[in-house]
Structure 1
Amino acid sequence: MAEQIISREFKNRWINFYGKNVTERILRELEQSDPRIISPNALYTTRRQLQESLESQGFRFAPETPFNCLILEFEPFNIVATSEYLSGLFTIQALTSLIPPKCLNPSSESVVADLAASPGIKTCLLAEVMENTGTLFAIEKAKKRIPALKSNIARMGIYNTFILNCDARSFPGLNVKVDHIMLDAPCTGTGLKLKKNKRLERRILNDVTRQSLIQREILDEAWKQLKIDGTIVYSTCSLEPEEGEVQINNFLARHEKQVQVLPININIGNPGNLTRWTKVYDSQISNTRRIFPDQGMDGFFIALMKKVRE
C-alpha cells in the first residue's frame, strides 16, 4: 500500500494541511497507473489526422480528449515504434505537462526562456504555441540530460530553440530581457504516481527544505530577467505547500507591488489555499491552482504571475 512506503512524516503533514479524507484519496491514487497520453504536434498534424492514422494500425483511444489530446486505451504494439512517433507527430506525456505552456501562451514573436528544460516535452509544447517562431531558450543545468533535450527538440521538428547548459540560478549572460518564462521547477515530486517516482519512499522533510530553497533562488533570478508586463509560469509536481502556495506567498512578500497573480483558466483542481498553514497570507494565492492525484492527473501546483510597475 502507498501508506506503507510513504513516511509517516509526510502522511501526517498531508493530513494536517489537506485533511484526512483528501489524504486517503491521495494515497490510494498514488498507487494507480496513468493511461498513456498522446499530444499531437500541432506544427505538423491535427488530432483528427493523427487519430485516424493510428487507429488504422489498430490503436484505440478513449472518446474524451482533454486538452486536445488522445488517451490511449489499447496498443497492438508499442506506440513509440510507429512512424508517427519517430517523425515527431506526437509526444507522450502527463496531462499536467500541457498546462504550463498553455497558461503562458506566448505570442509567435516572443522571447521565452524555459528554465528547467530537459527532457524537452514542455519546451516543444512552448515552441508549438509560438508556431516555431520567436526565440526560445531551453536552459538545463545537468549535462547528462542535454542529449534527451536535443533528441526531443530534433524529433519534433523544433527550430526556434537554443539549448543552454547552465544553472538557471545564475541566469546566463544573454544580455536580453525576456517576455515570458516557464519554470517547471525541480521539486520533491511527491505528487507523482509511485511508478513515476521511485524515490518517493525515501523522501525526507529535509528534501522539501532543500528543493524549496533552490526554487526560491531560481524564481528570484528569473524575475530580474523578466520584462515589465512579462509573465512567468511556476509549477511543481509536488504536494508540499513549501513548494507551492507557501513558495508563491513568500515570493509575493519579497516583491510586493511588482507582482500580479493571474487566474489559471482550467476547469480542474482547486484554488490555492493557505488557511490551514497560516491566518495571514496574500489574497492573490487564490488565483493559483492546486491539483490532486485523484483529480485525473498527477499532483500539481501552478501559478501564473505578471510583472508590473510599482
Structure 2
Amino acid sequence: MSNKLPNDLINHLKEDPEFDIEAFVYKHEEEEKTNSIRINPLKSFDYTSLGIAGSIPWCTEGFYLKERPIFTLDPFFHAGCYYSQEASSMFLAHAIAQLSLADKPLKALDLCAAPGGKSTLLNAALHPQSLLVSNEIIKARVNILSDNLMRWGNPNVVVSNNDPSAFKHLPGYFDLLVVDAPCSGSGMFHKDHAAIDEWSLANVKLCSERQKRILAHSLDSLTQDGYLFYSTCSYSKEENEDIVDWLIDEWGMAPLSLSVDEAWGIDQTQSPLHGAHGYRFYPHKVGGEGFFFAVLQKKNEQTTFSRKKIKLDRNNAPQALAKNWLDMEGLYTFAHHDDLHVFPKLYEVDLKALQQVLYLKNAGTPIGKLTGKELVPSHDLALSVRILPDLPAIELELDEALNYLRKETVDPGVNTNNLKGWVLMRYQGVNLGWIKAMPNRINNYYPKELRIAVL
C-alpha cells in the first residue's frame, strides 16, 4: 500500500494552471482525516455528546466531529439517530434545497444506493410524503442498504436489487434520479491509501464506459422535466465533465447551475463541450473528500408509465391491528408471507407496479409476524419513526444498553415496574429494540445478525 499519487493523475490535474498541485499532494500525505455525521431529524437525541467540531455548511443536518468515535459502542448509532457520512457527499441536500424539491411529494430513485448514505439523506431532505426507491445493483450489498434504511425508520421506502436496465420498464416514472456512479475512486485516495494501488487510466476508461451504460439503461425512467443528480468520487474528467457533455449530446439533458458560497471552497467547473456546470470537492480546499456533482434536467419528451391497467389484489391483512403499535395516518397494512408491513396509502398502486417489474428486497416497514390474532413485533417496528411513544418501555444505562446490543442476557432487575410481555428497551429516550418480559426472566429479542460482535 502506498500514499504516492499516480503520475497520470497528477499530470491530469496539472492541466488546470490554477490548480494548486503542491497543496493537493501535501494533503494526501497527511494522515489526518475528516470525520462527519448527519443526524436523523425525526429522532431526537443529544448529538453534542459525539464531540461536534462544527456544522457542514451545505447540509443543515451535517456536522464535523472532533475525532472519530467508536460508532459500534454508541447506542444512538444502532438506533438510527445519525448516519456516519462523508461530508462532501452531503452536497445533495444543498441541491434539493436550491431546486425546491422538498416543496411537494415526488418519486425518487437512488440507483446505486448501498450502503445508504444518500438514500437516508434523500429520505430526510425530500417532502415527507415522497416515495423513495433505493436500489442496489450488487446483491451482496443489498442487506447493508436495507439495514441502514431500517434504522432510519421511515415507511415510505422501497429497497430493490436490480440491474439498471430493469428500470426501462418504468418509463417516465421518477421525478428525481440519483446516480452516484461506480468510479475509479481517486477522490478516496486521501481517506483510503489502498485505493491508490488499484487506480489506472485503463480503469478510468472502463468506469466511464460503465457509467454511460448505467445512465443509458436508467434515464428512460426519468419523467420529462425530471432531475438527474450525477456524482462520482473521481477526479478524472472522463468520468465527470465528459459524462455531462455526453448526457447533453446523447440525451438532450439540460445542465443546471447551483449557487454556491465561495467560502465553502468548492470548485465550480464547466464541461469542455457545452460549458455545463459541475462541482468539484478537493480535500485540500474543503472539509471533505474528493467528489464531483452535477445536476441536469430532462427536456426531451418521454412516454409515461401508465398505472391505469394495474389491478390491486384483495388485501386481507388486518388493518386495525397496527394501530395498537404505530401512528397509522396515511398508511395501510399489507401481508407478505407471515410478515405484516405498513406502507403509504398514497402509493398502494405504485407498489403493485414496482412488484411487477422489479425484484424488491423490502417495502415499507415490516412491523412483525402474525401468529393467530397476535403480532410478534419486529426490530424494524422498534426503530420506526411512527411507533407510538407510550408503549411499555425500560430505560437503560449505557452499560446496560451495550449489554442488550450484544444480545447478552438482560438482568431482570432492570424491569423495576414489573412490566409483562413485549417491552421496548430505550437509551436516553431512544428505542433500541424489544425484549419479552416473563415472570422470572427477560428474553432478549435483539436481532442476532445486528448484535455487537466485536469490541
> What TM-score bracket applies, with the shorter chain setting the length?
0.7 to 0.9
After TM superposition, the runs of 4+ consecutive aligned structure 1 residues lying more than 6 A away are none
Are positions 1:89 and 2:86 aligned together? no
Distance 1:63 1:73 in 2: 8
Are positions 1:7 and 2:3 aligned together? no
For 1:34, the aligned partner's letter is K
Q: Tell me the equivalent position of 2:149.
A: 153
- Inter-CA distance 84–8: structure 2 relative to 1 (3 Å threshold): same
Are positions 1:303 and 2:299 aligned together? no
Q: Tell me the equivalent position of 2:410.
A: none
More relative contact order in 1 or in 2 (CA 8 Å, sep 6+)?
1
* Rg comparison, structure with higher value: 2
The two structures have a TM-score, normalised by structure 2, of: 0.59
Shift of 1:162: 1.1
Q: Tell me the equivalent position of 2:164.
A: 168
11, 22, 36: which one aligns with 1:24: 22
Q: Deviations over 1:150-170 (max 9, x none)?
A: 110111113211111111244
208, 225, 249: which one aligns with 2:245: 249
> Contact (CA 8 Å) 1:140, 1:168: kept in 2 or not?
no
Distance 2:259 2:107 in 1: 23
Q: How many residues align?
A: 290
- Inter-CA distance 265–42: structure 2 relative to 1 (3 Å threshold): farther
Q: Deviations over 1:121-157 (max 9, x none)?
A: 1101101113543221111111111111011011111
The two structures have a TM-score, normalised by structure 1, of: 0.84
3-state SS, counterpart of residue 199 of structure 1: helix
238-247 vs 215-224, greater mean Cα deviation:
215-224
Distance 1:195 1:63 in 2: 20
3-state SS, counterpart of residue 153 of structure 2: coil
Distance 2:228 2:19 in 1: 33
Q: Tell me the equivalent position of 2:253.
A: 259
Distance 1:62 1:308 in 2: 42
For 1:116, the aligned partner's letter is C
31, 51, 69: which one aligns with 1:60: 51
Runs of 5+ consecutive residues of structure 2 not aligned to the other structure: 302-455
> Contact (CA 8 Å) 1:189, 1:197: kept in 2 or not?
no
CA RMSD of aligned residues (A): 2.4
Shift of 1:195: 3.4
Shift of 1:194: 3.6
For 1:295, the aligned partner's letter is K
3-state SS, counterpart of residue 171 of structure 1: helix
Distance 1:195 1:204 in 2: 18
- Inter-CA distance 65–216: structure 2 relative to 1 (3 Å threshold): closer
- Inter-CA distance 84–188: structure 2 relative to 1 (3 Å threshold): same
For 1:72, the aligned partner's letter is L
- Kindly indicate which of the two structures has a greater share of residues assigned to strand: 2
